[in-house]
Amino acid sequence: MSHVNNFFHQAPLQNCFSTKTHNRYLDALDYVKGLLTSPGRRHMTAISQNCSNANNQVFSHYISQSTWDHRSLVDWIRNTGWRLIGKNGVLVIDECANPKAGEHSIGVKRQYCGNPGKVENCQVGVFMAYVKNGSRLLLDYRLYLPECWTSDPNRCDSARIPLENRKFLTKAKLSYELIVEAVRSKIPFSNINMDGFYGSQPWLLTRLESLGLTYVADIGSDDRVFLKSPEYGIPAKYSIKGRPPSRVKVLNTQPIRVDEIMKRVERWRVLRVRESMSGFLEVKFYALKVWRIDKDVQEPLPVWLLIRKELDDSKVKYSLCNADHINSWDRLVKMQSERYWVERSFQDAIELAGMADYQVRNWQAWHHHVALVLLAMLWIIKEQKHFLEEFKDFIPQDVIKCFKIWMPLKEKTSLVVAELIALNHANRKNSRRAKMKRKGRTSSI
């Protein structure tokens, strides 16, 4: 158990707290322990009942009210995490949505929620993961605030949103902030992967190119590109009537939809992407040089168009890649496929560290919870790396099994269990009475 405590002593938890340092530090350790070991949903009540002598009100204050600096912790996680995984990994940008009831939880709104794949009342966070050879870790994040929040001062005050954060930023702009922060931190990544939402933002791709960064960005089937290098200029006047043309246009070619290009492909190559549970994953693949479109940039923007199909032609994926120094299709298809690992990162954080189990409303609480989830996942990856030296197939789930032995749940007497049962029944009754009162009805309980 000593090596577990040693790791958390290395994290700058002590520096995050301005008051009652020792108590807040112990609360942090108990909370992370609860995220990793508490059975069922890992909310504050479950953590207090199973993993700590502190009650749920202590954790509620620690997460929602205590003014410790989550950014210091996240900065340390980001700078430690990539070193743990290794140089020249891939940064992957994606969002994770958590369904929420009501309208008071920070950032909640009816918007697209990826897990159920539909519009739902949810919160959305934009995350940056770092992946290499199957190892993956969430390094940083931003909470997306819809415009209905940033334009409502009363709502911002109620959720205690800092004044500097009360401005509307699109998810694409938040992703750019994360990438710039990674560059400033000197993370030695090879390229950036993004899904179709971010790939449909030409300004974002242009900014990444201006920073000298390589990207692989998914696009939609109806996105258009040029098949030859465009020449920009003002068209000649073809009629004596009307004013002469003054707007710069492409003179020598017309854009074409990428799904139309796919229909013209006659010879596909079958390539291996990665090893999976059922053997090697193979896909049909095609790549060709095209020129992407950005209406604000009047110069040729050459990129690779990557087209990937399942072997049964059931699904087609399109991506743009600006890696002009890479001509190997094997390398390109593997670069295109790296975004798969961010979904595994979300799955790990949700299943192993309770990322979606929080019950908080304000700005500070959401950021505190997610920062400690990232810390828990960093510890899991560190332990997995240690065990992989002896056991090649050691996975994060195996680490959790070991952790439950090193840090077992607290023992409960029959009296304590009886008190918990009574308390849970009382809480359910009080919750029902409150709901009935809000509806103007009388509870029969």
- Which pLDDT tens digit goes with each residue over 186-229? 999 999 999 999 999 999 999 999 999 999 999 999 999 999 99
Looking at residue 21, its pLDDT comes to 46
**Of 351 and 65, more confident:** 351
Better pLDDT: 15 or 328: 328
- Nearest alpha carbon to residue 61 among 366, 376, 358, 365: 365
Rounded-to-integer distance, Cα 441 and Cα 276, Å: 55
Q: Distance between CA atoms of 16 and 24, rounded to whole angstroms? A: 9
Residue 443 has pLDDT above 60, yes or no: no
Least confident of 301-310, 313-322, 385-394: 385-394
Show the tokens assigned to 377: 């996942």
Question: Which position has the higher pLDDT, 315 or 326?
Answer: 315
Comparing CA positions, the residue from 258, 353, 405 lying closest to residue 38 is: 353
| Closest of 374, 354, 378, 358 to residue 366, by C-alpha | 358
Residues 6+ apart with CB under 8 A from 12: 72, 73, 76
Of the candidates 144, 141, 104, 110, the residue with the CA atom closest to the CA atom of residue 124: 144
Structure tokens at 96: 């994770």
CA distances from 247 to 234, 265, 295 (A): 6, 35, 12
pLDDT for 433: 76
Choose the weakest-confidence range: 55-64, 70-79, 341-350, 379-388. Answer: 55-64
Report the distance separating Cα 323 and Cα 411, nearest Å: 57
Q: So where are the chain's domains? A: 2-70+363-424, 215-235+246-322
DSSP per position, 60-118: HIIIII----HHHHHHHHHHHHHHHH-SS-EEEEEEEEEE--SS-STT-EEEEETTTTE
Lowest-confidence segment of 22-26, 132-136, 188-192, 388-392 by average pLDDT: 22-26
Is residue 34 within 8 A of residue 47, CB to CB? The reply is yes
Question: How many other CB atoms are there within 10 angstroms of residue 268's CB atom?
Answer: 16
Query: How far is CA 74 from each of CA 105, 114, 273, 353, rounded to the nearest angstrom?
Result: 22, 24, 32, 16
Average pLDDT, the chain: 87
Tokens 């992370």 — which residue? 32
26 falls in which pLDDT band (50, 70, 90)?
A: low
pLDDT at 402 over 90: no
**Residue 76: both structure tokens together:** 């340390």
Q: In percent, how much of the chain has pLDDT > 70?
A: 90
Token pair belonging to 199: 């790939």
Q: Is the dihedral of CA 218, 224, 228, 232 positive or negative?
A: negative
Average pLDDT over residues 398-416: 80
DSSP H helix total and E strand total for the chain: 17, 14
Where does the pLDDT of residue 274 fall: very low under 50, low under 70, confident under 90, or very high at 90 and above?
confident
